[in-house]
Copies of this chain bind each other. A is one copy, B any other.
């Protein structure tokens, strides 16, 4: 199948999915761009349809489109010439190492943290009042990590009642250099780029952890979160 008109209804639909959270929510679909991400989606069986500027031996059902159509759908300056419409994963599986993101707003930070979560054996993610997971920028920064994680819709108090050990991060807590992990079921909370973790979540935590640092008050949240995940994962080895 080939599509060459930008006014084709399917192309208009893809453009909406790409740019609108509402459309993504209603359809339960999202879009990934480029060979790497299409391949990750393909391996995990999440693909609805692939759109490519040329025939791809691996993706025989790909719909052939023009480069201008790919450019119309995405906001990437020089796209690779392949995108896919992907089904959102429908899972409520809850693992034993949870990254809980409280009100993160920067898609790049969220995507980068997902990539680090996969690297350091965190299996489950909660996005509590964050920017949409399926935002194209988040997808791009996650580099496919999104396909390896469970996303659940639980609140911190639910997890506490289920006996997860709750680890908060702030500036005046226990130094990460001295911290010894005592549980293998835990939640790491990271807070908003400007305001940190909200007070009520801080208050229900079992420990407040601080990364010791010199001269400056705070690190970028994706940096801080990744250092914490690396260290917590190391302690479990």
Contact = CB atoms under 8 A, between A and B. Distances in A.
A171 interface: no
Interface in A212-237: 213-216, 219-220, 222-223, 226-227, 230, 234, 237
Contacts of A141: 220
Contacts of A200: none
A222 B220 CA distance: 10
A220 B112 contact: yes
Interface string A116-151: 101111000000000000000000010111001000
B211 A230 contact: yes
Report, as a range, how many residues of chain A touch the other chain: 20 to 34
A203 interface: no
A115 interface: yes
A144 B112 CA distance: 22
Q: Taking each of A115, A177, A219, A223, which has the highest tally of chain B beta carbons within 10 Å of its own beta carbon?
A: A223
Contact of A213 (B119, B215, B223): B119
A140 to B, nearest CB: 12
Given A112-B220, A223-B226, A215 B119 contact: yes
A41 B16 CA distance: 44
B119 A219 contact: yes
A116 B223 contact: yes
Contacts of A234: 177
A119 B237 CA distance: 27
20 contacts: A108-B108, A112-B223, A115-B216, A115-B219, A119-B211, A119-B213, A119-B216, A119-B219, A121-B214, A141-B220, A144-B216, A148-B215, A177-B234, A220-B222, A222-B223, A223-B223, A223-B226, A226-B226, A227-B227, A227-B230
Interface of A: 108, 112, 115-116, 118-121, 141, 143-145, 148, 177, 211, 213-216, 219-220, 222-223, 226-227, 230, 234, 237
Given A115-B219, A144-B216, A227-B227, 5 more contacts: A112-B220, A112-B223, A118-B215, A119-B211, A141-B220
